[in-house]
Amino acid sequence: MSCDLFSLHWPLRVFGVVALRDSVDYNRNVIFYRTRDNCQTLTEKDPYLVLTGPSRAVMLLDPVTLEVVLKVKGATESEDKDFSFLAAPVMRRAVLSSCLLNTVFASKLSTLEFTLGHIVFSVEATISLEVVDGSWPDGFRGQFSARTCAVRISDTDDEEVFSHSEDKKVPVIGDGSYASRIDKQVVILLDSGVGKAPVIGDGKIKLSRCVASVEVEGKLIVSVKAWQIDNQVVEKEMDFTPMEADRSQGMLDVGFCTMKVTVAWSLVSHDPEA
């Protein structure tokens, strides 16, 4: 996100909700939520919202509605400022390959860049990690992520595939493209920051988000990085072959502990009652 520097100044303490609604049930599928007492601090160098969703795959069949209600925290509640307030439909064009869809939404105080990973012929993966041997030591930062190795990847840079109006072209931040390649794009499941990874009583790691979409003929790659300040990074990853149902499991050994990775597979249903 960017801000109007005449009205606001970095850093910004932001709170509120960002959600998507699709035709499956039209309920809010929350991708960001912070209360006033638990703001996220945005800086000019790091203006990205830390997402905690979606809780299930988003169906991009009919127009999906993006809802944003964000505020900047002031010294008192009466000094809070509106940062971004919108409800805009995400219109789908014919896209036969996996790609990143990008657009921007400008308001008086901010500009929101929205990027959506469009995965064709996909299944839903729900990911969990559990420490089964050893323990996560104090002082080690942990970053857990997932990415998809897609088969049907779009190379187009000039096809208009994403807008919030059928008759109005939307400018895109970056190289001016409306679609870009999705391979190597990483979904952060958890970044513990300066603290240790949050492991609860039964050994499970408390992820910030756990759902990813994967092409049925592609691969899901789950990785973990662990490091101390000024120390060498330990990084391990493993890939999973998508299924329409059932579970996949594997082990990741980072030296000081071994983690079991479980992926629960399911079809992306059009029917909320299915």
Per-residue pLDDT for 74 more than 50? yes
What's residue 6's pLDDT? 52
DSSP 3-state assignment of 136?
coil
Of 34-38, 121-125, 151-155, 255-259, which gets the smallest average pLDDT?
151-155
Per-residue pLDDT tens digits for 170-210: 333 333 334 567 767 899 999 988 777 888 888 999 999 99
DSSP count for the chain of H helices, then E strands: 0, 18
Task: State how far the Cα of 172 lies from the Cα of 83, in Å rounded to an integer.
Answer: 20
Per-residue pLDDT tens digits for 105-140: 887 778 899 988 888 889 999 999 999 999 988 888
Q: DSSP secondary-structure letter at 120?
A: S
To the nearest 5 percent, what fractions of the chain are helix, strand and coil? 0, 50, 50
Amino acid letter for position 13:
R
Q: Which residue has the tokens 């391979």?
A: 183
- The domain limits of the chain are 2-267
Residue, of 230 and 18, whose pLDDT is higher:
18
Pairing of strands 219-227, 211-215: unpaired
Q: Which residue has the tokens 């895109």?
A: 172
Per-residue pLDDT for 272 more than 60? no
